[in-house]
Structure 1
Amino acid sequence: MSSPIKILLVDDHPLVRAGFQRLLISDESIEIVGEADNGQSACEMYASHMPDVVIMDLNMPSDANTEEMSNNLNGGLEAIRRIISHDPKAKVLVLTAMEIDPFPAHVVNAGAKGFLTKRCAPDELLEAVKAIHAGEEYITEEIRLRITEGGSADGASLASLTKRELQIFSLLAEGRTVSIVAEEMFLSPKTVHAHRTNIFRKLKISNNSELVHLAIRHNIVQA
């Protein structure tokens, strides 16, 4: 009998992890070797366990010190980049609620081998894990078309944001002021104001209210 597929499960919600764990271990060919609830822990556990496949959420803290309620969409993306920097052969499957552009494109650019939404059927998750373990990519045709065709106009605009702009966008959308964003990101308020101006220009918006509405439409923050 072949060795089981070793899985590292990364999601900041314990109940979500427990649900996926029950599903995955129902298949005898899969073994959960570790669980992480933030990006830093995911990278450390990857290095110590060297799993065959990482199942990663996008929307989670970068590290254990991040505020529990902070909606840090860059936590997952940064963890993917760090894991692949450590091991270019790493196989990461993103499983997230963030299915709207530009997240699929960012995920693929970060080096992930698969992208599924949390609305997927249980059998599809198992199929994706096995395909990625076998060296294939697993991205649904719908998501692939969004990536190649640029998706919606809103999505295309969001995709134009740099990594730092996207992080500032998410923090502003959560209601943080420029001064608080500057403090959290170790930037000067002047620098954050400059990024905010660029974000408004790229997204063709003129105020924070429009920014929040855009973030809600793209599931970056909850209404």
Structure 2
Amino acid sequence: MIDVLLVDDHPVVRSGYARLLEAGGDIRVAAEAPDAEAGYTAYVQCTPKVTVTDLSLPGSSGIELIRRIRARDTSARVLVFSVHDEAVVVDKAIQSGASGFISKRSAPEVLLEAVRAVAKGERYFSEDVRRVVEHRSPDAEREVINALSAREFEVFRLLARGLSPAECAQMLNLSQKTVANYQALIKEKLNVNTSAALVHLALRLGVVSGTGPTQLLGPKDGNH
């Protein structure tokens, strides 16, 4: 039996995924969580074979959850299940330790196949995600983003959403001085001098959405 942890902020969505997974007969949903913090706690408590997580979560994103889980257990297997499949987002999820990435636009059987593959230690990408990754064009800015560590990317994401360094510090349980140091380092790595330039870069690369201040990889408006 494959024990799975589901992390998604919508209870109805989690319920649907749970029914789908358990209908396969060889998968059991051992725990559910609505955000990254609860997801990490649930992981520690039940140590699932596979963690299935969205990226857009209240507070810290799925990227931060992947980083924390993998920092605790390098053998952990995490599958991302998200509508956000831009190349830079997929790259960062994999760089943070995800074992696979499938789009929420995938057919139901793809989720079952992906969980089984990841549970066996394989990597798995849905066909649409694979196309995005394979056909992306060379991009110097994207390569710079990939040079950011998972923690730097999380601070970048929060700053680009418009949070202040103090708010970032509170959300990530860091000191304001540490976040300020991250902010300076990020601007240096990304070669931007102002907060506005940082936001514009995040918009171009799909790290945040232009449709609202907290759309991509952050609290959602309910649209999947």
Q: Greater Rg, structure 1 or structure 2? A: 1
* 1:104 Cα offset (Å): 2.4
Percent of aligned pairs with the same amino acid: 36
* 1:150 Cα offset (Å): 8.1
TM-superposition CA deviations, 1:24-53 (whole Å, max 9, x none): 233233221210122332233223333222
- Equivalent positions of 1:1-223 (< 5 A) are 4-61=1-58, 70=59, 72-73=60-61, 76-140=62-126, 141-142=130-131, 145=134, 152-178=139-165, 180-181=167-168, 185-188=174-177, 192=179, 195-222=182-209, 223=211
Q: Letter of the aligned partner of 1:114 in structure 2?
A: G
Corresponding residue pairs, total? 205
Q: Letter of the aligned partner of 1:132 in structure 2?
A: V
Q: Given the superposition, is the C-alpha separation of residues 172 and 87 from structure 1 closer, same or farther in structure 2, using an over 3 Å criterion?
A: closer
Contact kept, 8 Å, 1:53 with 1:93, in 2: the verdict is: yes
Distance 2:207 2:71 in 1: 26
Contact kept, 8 Å, 1:101 with 1:152, in 2: the verdict is: no
Contact kept, 8 Å, 1:7 with 1:34, in 2: the verdict is: yes
Q: Letter of the aligned partner of 1:47 in structure 2?
A: V
Q: Letter of the aligned partner of 2:190 in structure 1?
A: L
Using CA pairs below 8 Å that are at least 6 residues apart, which structure has the higher relative contact order?
2
- Alignment RMSD: 3.0
Q: Given the superposition, is the C-alpha separation of residues 108 and 151 from structure 1 closer, same or farther in structure 2, using an over 3 Å criterion?
A: farther
Q: What is the DSSP-based 3-state SS (H/G/I as helix, E as strand, rest coil) of the residue aligned with 1:102?
A: helix
Q: Letter of the aligned partner of 1:81 in structure 2?
A: R
Q: Given the superposition, is the C-alpha separation of residues 53 and 157 from structure 1 closer, same or farther in structure 2, using an over 3 Å criterion?
A: same
Distance 1:130 1:31 in 2: 12
Q: Letter of the aligned partner of 2:27 in structure 1?
A: I
Q: Structure 2 unaligned runs (5+)?
A: 212-224
Give TM-score scaled by structure 1 length.
Answer: 0.74
